[in-house]
Amino acid sequence: MKKGEFVAIMGASGSGKSTLMHVIGCLDSPTSGNYYLEGVNISKFSKNELAEIRNKKLGFVFQSFNLLSRTTVIENIELPLIYSKKISKIDRDRIYQIMKTLGLEGFDEHYPNQLSGGQQQRVAIARAIINNPTLLLADEPTGNLDSATSMDVMRVLQDLNQKWGITIILVTHENDIAGYARRIIVLKDGKVLSDTSPQTSVRPVP
């Protein structure tokens, strides 16, 4: 996978999607073969080394949002920065820039339960990219959303890929959602069944 790609991973239950995402997300190490991230073989890294990579180089977006209910929107977004360092003015400016890009202006002091599902997922996306990750992993990010909101969230991810150059790996079981990606890989029994190019994807990129 190349820098700047937007890849969708599809496959039936048991096809290997979750295992692949766990390895790519540095939650598990491969039992065979090697995993290179930015040219570095991290297959044999320790748990602490993998944790550091997760914090500095990876962003995660989940189906269930995983926002902290008792913290505000801006506090949720800045959480990865708090883990790694003190928040500077540059960091604060970046937070507001991302909030503006994702349509979250004016929601700084709102709590998750005051937001719609789509807005909560936008907050989760903002949190995932605040550290400028090498790779954004989105695991069924539209699973808890209605169709219209799902399309809205996917356009956000598409814009982040096309305009910001963020590399994205998306796991989904829905063809229309996968169609927002520039490349679609279908797994079966742990192997690649198909790997389609942008010209043959199920949904042309607008």
Confidence at residue 172, expressed as pLDDT on a 0 to 100 scale: 93
The predicted structure's pLDDT at residue 179:
92
Q: Is 2 left (phi over 0), alpha (psi -120 to 50) or beta?
A: beta
pLDDT tens, position by position, 119-169:
999 999 999 999 889 999 999 999 989 999 999 999 999 999 999 999 999
Q: Model-level pTM greater than 0.95? A: no
Contacts of 38 (CB under 8 A, 6+ apart): 57, 134
CATH 3.40.50.300 fits 7-200, yes or no: yes
pLDDT at 198: 59
pLDDT at position 81, please?
A: 84
> How does DSSP classify residue 39?
T
Question: How much is the pLDDT for 85?
Answer: 66
Contacts for 163-168: CB closer than 8 Å, 24+ residues apart: 164/129, 165/3, 165/4, 166/129, 166/133, 166/136, 167/1, 167/3, 167/4, 167/5, 167/6, 167/134, 167/135, 167/136, 168/5, 168/6, 168/7, 168/135, 168/136, 168/137, 168/138
Residue 14 pLDDT: 87
pLDDT at site 199:
55
Predicted pLDDT of residue 200:
44
pLDDT means per 10 residues, the chain with 206 residues, are 94 90 91 92 92 91 93 93 74 91 94 96 95 94 93 94 95 92 94 78 45
Instruction: For the chain, give every domain's residue range.
Output: 7-200
